[in-house]
Amino acid sequence: MLRGARSHLPASVAPAAVLAAALLSSFARCSLPGRGDPVASVLSPYFGTKTRYEDANPWLLVDPVAPRRDPELLAGTCTPVQLVALIRHGTRYPTTKQIRKLKQLQGLLQTRESRDGGSQVAAALAEWPLWYGDWMDGQLVEKGRQDMRQLALRLAALFPDLFSRENYDRLRLITSSKHRCVDSSAAFLQGLWQHYHPGLPPPDVSDMECGPPRINDKLMRFFDHCEKFLTDVERNETALYHVEAFKTGPEMQKVLKKVAATLQVPMNSLNAGNIHAVFPLHSVLSSLEVLNV
């Protein structure tokens, strides 16, 4: 996939996907996928919290709102009385910081390409329209709202007694002040409204019986308010020693060397920061199903 004339690079494969696969093969022994392989599925285990629901549970591709119950979950003698769920926000755009790193990497490749050619992948990345804007800054996308609405429907179907109409006003959603989290909470409530009122458009969340999500940064973003964390970690120059050591250590040097060879750019023009920026880009593309591979 990485060899031959430029015309041989499949148009359906986003250059970022190929570069991300090259990165993974550097340290995870993940071989590059062949033509027609689902790149997103190969890479998704490495996206952590940015992994699509559909990759964590492929059954959702068949029916996104039907729950799959573990046969050993909730035996006949067990009656659920309370559900506490810690839910991450839905699919979002990259942050402004990530977008700027991507633009820096693309700028490097464009300069290299105009001067002395470069590799097939580098040329594709240099020419690839990077349509992200700073205004996006991690905002929730429509796919993210859909994630939350469908999650609400699955939970309501899995725990019908807890999510009954009678209990609706007992539901409490707590969120951080991050816009993507507030918007995710609103979408979750809209999904529940669809469960209770199929076919009817949901009202504003402030008019729902359970009330709007409550913002509590002291709980949901405790690390910003924990004095011990701020003192011992955030403001402690030695606390992240091992993180910084990894960024400059032999493992990262191996990754940088392989990527530099793939892109045919000087190794000293790359660093851990702009290499890491490839992952949120590809995870977003995978989540938005932009990749047609």
Could you report the per-residue pLDDT of 124-143, keeping only the tens digit for each?
777 777 777 888 888 998 98
Let me know how many helices (H) and strands (E) the chain has, helices first.
13, 2
145 closest CA partner among 182, 102, 177, 195: 182
Residue 2: predicted pLDDT: 28
Q: For the CA atoms of the chain, what is the radius of gyration?
A: 22
Confidence of residue 213 (pLDDT cuts 50, 70, 90): very high
Could you report the per-residue pLDDT of 156-186, keeping only the tens digit for each?
998 888 898 888 888 889 999 999 999 999 9
Q: Give the three-class secondary structure for 3.
A: coil
- Amino acid, res. 75: A
Is residue 81 pLDDT above 60, yes or no?
yes
Write out the catalytic residue numbers: 89
Residue 167: predicted pLDDT: 87
Task: Count CB neighbours of 85 within 10 A.
Answer: 8
Q: What is the mean pLDDT of the chain?
A: 77
Residue 28: predicted pLDDT: 44
Q: What is the mean pLDDT of residues 26-55?
A: 59
> What dihedral angle (degrees, nearest 10) is formed by the CA atoms of 167, 169, 175, 177?
170
DSSP state of 83: -
